[in-house]
């Protein structure tokens, strides 16, 4: 029995540990390590596709750590698939050997980088760039085979031994970017691409992270230059000024560290504060129409009001969850339907159900003294719910001062109201005059 219990305990511990670790990302593969390594130099890697991930330097068994990756990689281990679509790099290349060993400058191979004004410019060196040193001839119609060992196709091209040269596919980034402007501000390659000179093949992992971009774009003062941390500075925009969001690799959504606006599973419940704080940020991607579809909607959004909401909306309104006034003007939207259904107190005589009462009996709901079931408490807690059925006339029936037709003189005001009423009376006397006669002593005291 005890052995079985210990097995259970061990199993439970293991399961809990795995769930916790998976949740924290410990036992799941690191995003940065999700690579199809092109292999170490000299090893055939036919068909290798570096779709993502950093390449180990020759002789190293490990992919480069954070220290070699671009700034911001701690927050975003891999670059965005939407901004930098997956690439196919069936190549072998050793940046470390070229940059550190042979002292080749970045611009020796990527000469166009310092004059490029568009992110779509192709800045990878053409094969002919390599010919000078490798002795190959990429310009030759029949092929680029060189004569020496440095000129062998399969030295650089994966799959060259048998199946022919696999094509390098690097889709243009979905980005607005000028290498020229950055270079002109003396921003070195490594400031965006990390220590790319110390890795083997530079893959997508050497591409910039947004978290790294905003490190400079966020600064205040001359260091920032003209490029503020506004979305269209870098992101592609539509004709209406919003960001292009639909890409073949998925929709563009904000990372969690950006304005705390991660559109997670509970975003529908949390987005209110973000929109209230900075709707302009929301408008980077969303139109007023998208907001109106729910907040002034005429088709019930099921993500907000689930199935059969008509049956349960009464108690939802009592709990004010979701908050009715987020989308509805209660005196019209709610009350119009309640009047038609005969629920509202001022429903037309033909719609009212005779002998039916929505609330508790009058002895409990309206008559003094004020017991736990008295309407006063409900009104104090959730006055908005009252408004969804009642008009001023219903309340003035009792709360108007004696002397005003219908008035019973039941004071609805909070303590201390008499000393604070002068301003409201001056700015708008209308509500006062609903319950008080113009010569009323209370109004006189207020004035």
Partner 1 sequence: MPERRGLRAASARRAALVAAVLAGAAARDARATELEVDARTAAQAYQVTGPWTGSVLDRRRLTQTLGLAAYDLQGTRRVGAPSYSVALLLRLDADFGVNDRLASDQAGGETTYSGPAAAGSRYVPGLRPAPIDLVYGYVEGRDLAHGWLGFRLGRQVVSDVLGWWSFDGALVRLTTPAHVRAEVYGGFEQRGGLPLSTARYESQGVWRGSHSDFGVSGDSPRLTDYPSYQYAAPAPAFGVVAESVGLGFGHARVDYRRVYDSGVSVTQQFPDARGGYRAIDGLRLSSEKVGVAAEGDVLGRARARAGLAWDLHAARAGSAFGSVEGYLGRRVTLGADVDWFAPTFDADSIWSWFTHAGVLTTTGRVGARLSREADVAASAGARQWYTEGDPTTFAASECQAAAREGRIATANCASGGTFDASTGAARDAASQDASRATTATTDGIANASARYAWPSGLASARASLRVGARGRRVGGDVVGEKRLSGGRYTLGARTSLYDWADPERPERNATSFGYVIGVGFRPATSGALRLEWEHDMNRLVGQRFRVLALLDVWVGR
| The length of the chain, given as a count of residues | 447
Minimum Å distance from CB 84 to partner 1?
10
Q: For residue 115, state whether it binds partner 1 (rule: CB under 8 A).
A: no
251-273 burial string, b = 16+ CB within 10 Å, else e? ebbbeeebeebbeeeeeeeeeee
Comparison of 100 and 351: residue with beta carbon closer to partner 1: 351
Site for partner 1 in 328-367 (CB under 8 A): 328-333, 335-337, 339-343, 346, 348-351, 353, 356, 358-360, 363, 367
Minimum Å distance from CB 134 to partner 1?
27
Minimum Å distance from CB 61 to partner 1?
23
Backbone angles phi, psi at 246, to 5 degrees: -95, 115
Site for partner 1 in 285-304 (CB under 8 A): 288-289, 291-292, 295-296, 298-299, 302
Tell me the number of residues near partner 1 by CB under 8 A.
166
Assess contact for 48 and 34: CB atoms under 8 A: no
Assess contact for 90 and 168: CB atoms under 8 A: yes
How far is it, in rounded angstroms, from Cα 388 to Cα 335?
Answer: 5
Q: Contact letters (x/-) for partner 1, 360-399, by CB under 8 A?
A: x--x---xxxxxxxx-xxxxxxxxx-xx---xxx-xxx-x
Site for partner 1 in 229-288 (CB under 8 A): 229-230, 232, 236-241, 244, 246-250, 256-260, 262, 264-266, 269-270, 272-282, 288
Minimum Å distance from CB 361 to partner 1?
12
Beta bridge partners of 91: 157
* Closest among 133, 138, 139 to 160, alpha carbons compared: 138
How far is it, in rounded angstroms, from Cα 318 to Cα 270?
Answer: 21
Q: For residue 6, state whether it binds partner 1 (rule: CB under 8 A).
A: no
Minimum Å distance from CB 380 to partner 1?
5
Q: For residue 222, state whether it binds partner 1 (rule: CB under 8 A).
A: no
Q: How many helices (H) and strands (E) does the chain have?
A: 21, 2
Binding segment for partner 1 among 8-16, 61-69, 81-89, 103-111 (CB under 8 A)? 81-89
Comparison of 90 and 197: residue with beta carbon closer to partner 1: 90
Q: For residue 54, state whether it binds partner 1 (rule: CB under 8 A).
A: no
Cα 147 vs. chain centroid, distance in angstroms? 54
Q: For residue 318, state whether it binds partner 1 (rule: CB under 8 A).
A: yes
Distances (CA, A) of 290 to 47, 286, 287, 297, 323: 45, 6, 5, 10, 19
* Closest among 108, 140, 109 to 124, alpha carbons compared: 109
Minimum Å distance from CB 45 to partner 1?
16
Comparison of 132 and 414: residue with beta carbon closer to partner 1: 414
Q: For residue 117, state whether it binds partner 1 (rule: CB under 8 A).
A: no
């Amino acid at each position: 029995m005890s052995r079985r219990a210990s097995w259970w305990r061990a199993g439970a511990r293991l399961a809990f540990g795995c769930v916790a670790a998976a949740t924290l990302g410990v036992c799941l593969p690191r995003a940065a390590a999700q690579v199809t390594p092109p292999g170490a130099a000299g090893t055939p890697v036919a068909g290798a596709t570096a779709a993502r991930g950093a390449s180990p330097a020759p002789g190293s068994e490990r992919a480069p750590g954070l220290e070699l990756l671009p700034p911001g990689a701690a927050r975003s281990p891999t670059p965005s698939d939407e901004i930098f679509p997956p690439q196919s790099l069936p190549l072998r290349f050793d940046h470390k050997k070229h940059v550190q060993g042979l002292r080749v400058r970045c611009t020796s191979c990527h000469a166009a980088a310092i004059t490029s004004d568009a992110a779509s410019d192709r800045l990878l060196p053409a094969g002919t760039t390599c010919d000078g040193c490798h002795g190959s001839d990429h310009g030759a119609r029949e092929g680029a085979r060189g004569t020496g060992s440095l000129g062998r196709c399969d030295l650089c091209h994966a799959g060259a031994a048998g199946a022919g040269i696999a094509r390098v596919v690097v889709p243009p980034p979905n980005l607005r970017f000028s290498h020229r402007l950055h270079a002109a501000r003396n921003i070195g390659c490594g400031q965006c691409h990390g220590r790319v000179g110390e890795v083997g093949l530079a893959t997508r992992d050497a591409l910039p992270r947004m978290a790294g971009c905003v490190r400079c774009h966020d600064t205040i003062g001359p260091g920032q230059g003209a490029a503020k941390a506004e979305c269209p500075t870098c992101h592609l925009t539509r004709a209406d000024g919003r960001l292009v969001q639909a890409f073949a690799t998925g929709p563009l959504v904000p990372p969690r560290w950006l304005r705390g606006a991660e559109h997670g599973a509970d975003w529908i419940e949390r987005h209110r504060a973000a929109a209230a704080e900075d709707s302009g940020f929301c408008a980077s991607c969303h139109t007023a129409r998208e907001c109106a579809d729910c907040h002034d909607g005429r088709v019930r959004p099921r993500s907000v009001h689930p199935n059969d909401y008509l049956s349960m909306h009464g108690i939802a309104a009592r709990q004010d969850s979701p908050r009715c006034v987020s989308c509805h003007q209660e005196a019209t939207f709610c009350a119009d339907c309640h009047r038609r259904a005969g629920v509202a107190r001022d429903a037309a005589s033909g719609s009212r159900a005779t002998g039916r009462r929505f609330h508790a009996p009058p002895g409990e709901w309206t008559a003094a003294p004020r017991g736990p079931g008295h309407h006063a408490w409900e009104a104090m807690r959730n006055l908005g719910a009252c408004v969804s059925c009642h008009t001023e006339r219903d309340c003035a029936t009792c709360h108007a001062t004696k002397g005003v037709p219908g008035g019973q003189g039941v004071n609805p005001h909070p303590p201390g109201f008499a000393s604070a009423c002068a301003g409201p009376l001056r700015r708008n006397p209308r509500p006062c005059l609903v319950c008080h006669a113009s010569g009323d002593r209370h109004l006189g005291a207020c004035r």
